């Protein structure tokens, strides 16, 4: 079993993959205005702020935002929901949603609505950056690492919905080897495919994602608007 989240670590990726992603994002955004949606403890936001970007770090966790602020006083921190950022934040050159955060949007219709909301927050020429979830996660599914199951230590359990690429991950006391039905109150995670991301991006008014597999990122640029004759 190769789970999406390691219960013994708050890091979404190993150090090598994380460093490659951060370096790529630094080169991409430069000294522009950036909002890190679901920033956590600043894995990406802090290096960008230190690199000269004007960073707004948004997260639901006050504790995580406190860590960000301690690491970089130049960074603005905002408490809020990454799926519906406050309109008062204004517009940005780049919106980042990294660290597997987009996988937490399991409902396709909601994903379209969220991307459409983010599109409104972009300046002309701006773009959204997501993890390359299909490239990072689907290979594990394809080789069978993510079948329903409980690990040998009975510390983790993966349970898939029966009709979709959505699962829940149970840890610790939540593990129940006798229950293989996803409960109504369980956290759902979508293992996004290329086709699904392409579809929701298109419906929200974005071009097909630009893939940087080495850096583990997707770049979504809005479809240019044309003036009526």
Q: What is the distance between the alpha carbons of residues 220 and 19, in angstroms, rounded to a whole number?
A: 21
- State CA 102 to chain mean position distance: 3
Neighbour count for residue 144 (Cβ, 10 Å): 10
Query: What share of the chain has pLDDT > 70, as a percent?
Result: 93
Q: Please count the other Cβ atoms lying within 10 Å of the Cβ belonging to residue 171.
A: 15
Pick the CATH number of 15-132+192-220 from 3.40.50.10440, 3.40.50.150, 3.90.1300.10, 3.40.50.300: 3.40.50.150
Average pLDDT over all residues of the chain: 92
**Residue pair 155/145 in contact by the 8 Å Cβ criterion:** no
pLDDT tens-digit readout, 89-116: 999 999 999 999 999 999 999 999 999 9
Q: Residue 210: phi, psi to the nearest 5?
A: -90, 125
Domain with CATH 3.40.50.150 in the chain: 15-132+192-220
**Does residue 2 surpass a pLDDT of 60?**
no
């Amino acid at each position: 079993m190769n789970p999406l989240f390691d219960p013994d670590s708050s890091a979404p990726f190993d150090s090598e993959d994380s460093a490659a992603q951060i370096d790529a994002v630094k080169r991409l955004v430069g000294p522009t205005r950036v909002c890190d949606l679901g920033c956590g403890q600043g894995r990406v936001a802090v290096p960008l702020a230190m690199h000269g970007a004007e960073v707004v770090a948004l997260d639901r966790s006050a504790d995580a935002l406190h860590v960000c602020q301690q690491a970089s006083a130049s960074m603005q921190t905002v408490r809020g929901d990454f799926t519906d950022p406050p309109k008062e934040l204004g517009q940005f050159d780049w919106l980042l949603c990294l660290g597997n955060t987009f996988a937490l949007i399991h409902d396709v219709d909601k994903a379209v609505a969220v991307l459409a909301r983010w599109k409104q927050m972009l300046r002309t020429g701006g773009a959204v950056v997501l993890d390359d979830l299909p490239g990072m996660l689907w290979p594990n599914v394809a080789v069978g690492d993510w079948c329903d199951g409980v690990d040998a230590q009975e510390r983790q359990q993966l349970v898939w919905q029966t009709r979709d690429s959505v699962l829940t991950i149970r840890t610790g006391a939540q593990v129940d080897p006798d229950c293989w039905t996803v409960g109504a109150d369980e956290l759902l995670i979508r293992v996004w495919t290329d086709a699904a991301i392409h579809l929701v991006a298109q419906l929200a008014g974005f071009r097909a994602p630009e893939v940087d597999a080495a850096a583990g990122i997707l770049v979504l640029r809005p479809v240019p608007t044309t003036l009526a004759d």
